[in-house]
Amino acid sequence: MRSWPKPRKSSGSSGSERRRRVTSVSAKFRIAVTGDYERLALRAVPWTSLGDDVEVVAFHEPFNAVRSTAEALRDFDAVTLMHERVALTREVIEQLPRLKIIVFNGRKNAELDDQAAAARNILVCRSNPNFEIPAGEPGGKSPSELTLALLLSCAWRTGPMTTLIRTGGWAAQAGLALRGKVLGILGYGSVGKPVARMASALGMHILVFSRSLTVEDARAANVTRADLDTVLKNSDAISLHLPLNASTRRLIGKEQIAQMKDGVILINTARAAIVDEGPFIDALRWRKIAMAGLDVFWQEPLPEDHPLMDIPNLVMTPHIGYATAETMVVRYQGQLETLLGYRQGRIIGRYSSHAVA
């Protein structure tokens, strides 16, 4: 069963399932807080501090098309984006006559056409809270924890076993003990490093593919630096933590999957497009990839008729790696502070994709 709520047509009333209002009084300055799937936004931070002449509307469901996005956001002066949950393309932006400012969370937003916004003199600002973990701490960012959860779920097949029990079954496949197995990590940054530490605590051996990792740093961290082919050929499980760019798009394709061990586990909490979708689905069906854990997808929300919906050896979460109650409060606080600054004549976090590498 899908975890994403299905979009419903708004009745336009204050009791709509699609949105909630901070105030029922029509205001001159209207703010759309989009992507509030967890229904945390309106109680996470004091939006009323923006003033009595401000109305804040939180949208709890994904928009399913350009038209529905434009219709929902047409009468707003400000729009906030929770990472890449809503696409503000040129086609959408050109249909938003009142829009004056866009605030998004994160370093970049692939679903936002900031150049189209600039062409209409719409200010784009980013709120990029720091969630760095102190050096030497065993834990990590929330995507690191989700990675470990997906890895354990794949090793012990908790998803398929839950389905088995609910359908009246009991006999099951044996689990896979991770102790002594090799975990290949592609990308050794703020998410990949904690994954390595936590997997090491489980008794796994760690191979790392990273252009920035030195042999000395690898030795100090008790991991082994290796090239991509070596990681692919020798890992029992592989976890992706690379940024998406020209060099990593479809990095894992048919040829790379063929190099992997038969029965490998593949975890992706980074970006879906790092993996070539077609060969990946084929490898799951033929059990070349025994189990996979995904938090990111080539189309989000995932369509009901997508092939992944019928593949049993798969554990999925709806792009929630960054969405813990604690971090979401910090993100909404960042949005609020940016909008407070704007209302006071200050610009916080002005963004242009031309200025970001």
Q: Based on the residue annotation, tell me whether 179 is a catalytic residue of this protein.
A: no
Beta strands 182-186 and 101-105 are unpaired
Name the β-bridge partners of 56. Answer: 31
Q: Check 83, 205, 319, 331 and give the catalytic one.
A: 319
Q: Check 91, 300, 306, 337 and give the catalytic one.
A: 300
* Burial of residue 66 (number of CB atoms within 10 Å: 0-12, 13-18, 19+): middle
Beta strands 264-268 and 19-21 are unpaired
Q: Based on the residue annotation, tell me whether 306 is a catalytic residue of this protein.
A: no
Residue 253, C-beta contacts closer than 8 angstroms, at least 6 positions apart: 275, 276, 279
Residue 240, C-beta contacts closer than 8 angstroms, at least 6 positions apart: 186, 187, 252, 266, 267, 268, 269, 270, 271, 274, 275
Q: Based on the residue annotation, tell me whether 271 is a catalytic residue of this protein.
A: yes
Q: Check 60, 197, 271, 331 and give the catalytic one.
A: 271
Give the active site residues.
271, 300, 319
